[in-house]
Structure 1
């Protein structure tokens, strides 16, 4: 159990520093190029754990699996993580780190629309509290040019939630590690295909004329040298690969519910790291917004904690009210795909 909490701490620190690392090293790479490289490296790091898990399940892939990973890879890597990377261009790393953690609330909504799960009172209350937190962080009276970054971050959180719910439909077949690993791998390959398209003359000119040079003639390996390679490996191996690896190891050593502590450590730790490393100030409204988003996320996970407590009570002889199975199922398993 102690080892499990160590994994939680390591995962939380790595996830909490990812926005800072991406923002700090962004000047060396095109943001789309950086997303492609880091998820490709992350997939390679997760591959050994993934293969081990698939062997335990005696699971082999077919065309149906490849099409599923193509879908999850496109939603998670190509759409969500590009939005996330672009958000870092327009907003402080601490703000992006906090807002991306609002995705458990959107998971509950997509679970209702896609999986036909009932929307309960705690879900609605969680959504209201989290949206209030986003508005407080936005601070409408003093936006200071960060609206675009905030919108991009919320869209990234929404699409991560969509990926989580779609992934949930098949996560039992693959396991969380394999689902994440092959989502990263297929998403990276899809992103590589799109990068190659942007290098075609008329496509490159089209994006340049639209005022979107970041999508024009995107490099693949350009910028990688002895000076930038260590930073790229840190982002790909540590922030992305090992961050997820420690997270899944934490679930194995403890439980999915206990591992979900990462959800609550990151919003609190990321702004502190941003203050210490890149000297981003933590405003009063940021603190209040963080507390509201933490509260909203906690409310969304309460049924899962109740289910875990009820399970534990069987071994102690204590009896607790049985939670609604429809309430607890997504909350327990949503942690297979944590936010960045």
Structure 2
């Protein structure tokens, strides 16, 4: 169990610094380009580790497995992370970090619907408390940035769906979290590369420029501004934040289940805004502080519930 919480700790720190790192290169790389770079490199970093391990017996056909990776890649890399990148463009890093952290709420609901997993009483209480905390932070009665809010929540919803589809895919293919993450990154990067190529076709780019919300995607570059000047920040984003953060998150999910892995996104709302305040000077409002405290209370309840479930399962064994 100590190893599981070490995975959670590492993943939490990596994910909590994600918005800060991405905000620091805003305007240098387009959202699609940065996604392509960080998930492709992140996938390549994980690939030798995955290949070094003994491959499990594939539980489904090779082509069906590829189809599953294309699905998880599309949900995570193409949809969720693109919405996430755009949310960072239109809102504060600290706000996006907190809103994205509600993805376990959606993950638990999708787990109930798709995987038929039961939700414990403490898990449900934690869920309600966390939602209350997020509502305090969002403050629906006084919305100042509905676009940034919508993009961040859309990213959280689709990432929650991706988390559960990835677990389902793991059951179907026999691949565990690290391998699923690696192949998801590579598949999603291929899909993004195809979209980048399409966006550079003159007729397509002309159409995109005629539609307001599609303009940022026209003529998306692949390697523009990739140079030694941005080497260290790209290394941190691609290798540590993307490769390391996601890998340890799914390792925690493999060994501890959804509830334990979800602690990453329950602790992140408390840590990410503080890091953003210290490093890039984000101002944190009073309602945000109050919401953070409420969400952390929900995290403690989740932790207690997980410990009780573990003790009960040990007694049954």
Q: Could you tell me how far 1:39 is from its partner in structure 2?
A: 0.6
Question: 1:106 aligned to 2:106?
Answer: yes
Is this contact kept in 1: 2:263–2:299, CA < 8 A? no
| Residues 258, 52 of structure 1: alpha-carbon distance in 2 compared, 3 angstrom cutoff | farther
Q: Is the 8 A contact 1:105 1:127 kept in 2?
A: yes
Deviation digits for residues 230-285 of structure 1 (CA, Å, limit 9, x no counterpart): 22121001111122344456678x84566654333322110110001110011111
Tell me the secondary structure at the aligned position of residue 105 of structure 2: helix
Cα distance in 2 between the residues matched to 1:305 and 1:260: 14
Are the counterparts in 2 of residues 104 and 300 from structure 1 also a CA contact under 8 Å? no
Deviation at 1:194, TM superposition (A): 0.7
- 8 Å Cα contact 2:267-2:296 kept in structure 1: no
> In the TM superposition, what are the counterparts of 1:295-310 in structure 2 within 5 Å?
295-296=297-298, 304-310=306-312
The 5-angstrom pairing of residues 315-330 of structure 1 reads none
Partner SS, residue 17 of structure 2: helix
Displacement after TM superposition at 1:184 (Å) = 0.9
Q: Please give the secondary structure, in 1, of the residue aligned with 2:26.
A: helix
Residues 87 and 152, structure 2, Cα contact 8 Å, conserved in 1: yes
Partner of 2:148: 149
Give the TM-score taking structure 1 as reference length. 0.81
Q: Tell me how far 1:291 sits from its aligned partner.
A: 3.0
Deviations 1:72-128 (A, max 9, x none): 111111111101111101111111111112111111222233234556766665554
Question: Equivalences for 1:69-218 in 2 at 5 Å?
Answer: 69-117=69-117, 125-144=125-144, 146-172=145-171, 173-211=174-212, 212-218=214-220
What's the offset of the Cα at 1:311? Answer: 3.3
The verdict on how the C-alpha distance between 1:49 and 1:300 changes in structure 2, with shifts beyond 3 A counting, is: same
Give the unaligned 5+ runs of structure 2.
none
Partner-residue secondary structure (3-state), 2:25: helix
- Where does the alignment leave 5 or more consecutive residues of structure 1 unmatched? 316-340
Cα deviation for residue 301 of structure 1 reads: 6.8
CA contact (8 A) 2:266 2:295 kept: no
Q: Distance in 2 between matches of 1:31 and 1:107?
A: 25
> Using a 3 Å threshold, how does the CA distance of structure 1 residues 152 and 19 change in structure 2: closer, same or farther?
same
CA distance in 2, matches of 1:82, 1:251: 23
Q: Tell me the C-alpha RMSD between the 2 structures.
A: 2.8
C-alpha displacement at 1:3, in angstroms?
6.7
Which residue pairs with 1:233 in the alignment? Answer: 235
The TM-score normalised by the length of structure 2 is 0.87
CA contact (8 A) 2:178 2:251 kept: no
**Aligned: 1:42 with 2:39:** no
Query: 1:268 aligned to 262, 267, 270, which one?
Result: 270
- Give, in angstroms, the shift of residue 147 of structure 1: 1.4
2:23·2:88 contact (CA, 8 Å) conserved in 1? yes
Q: 1:138 to 1:2 in 2, by over 3 A?
A: closer
- Matching residue of 2:13: 13
Cα 1:259–1:130 change in 2 (3 A) is: closer
Equivalent pairs, count: 312
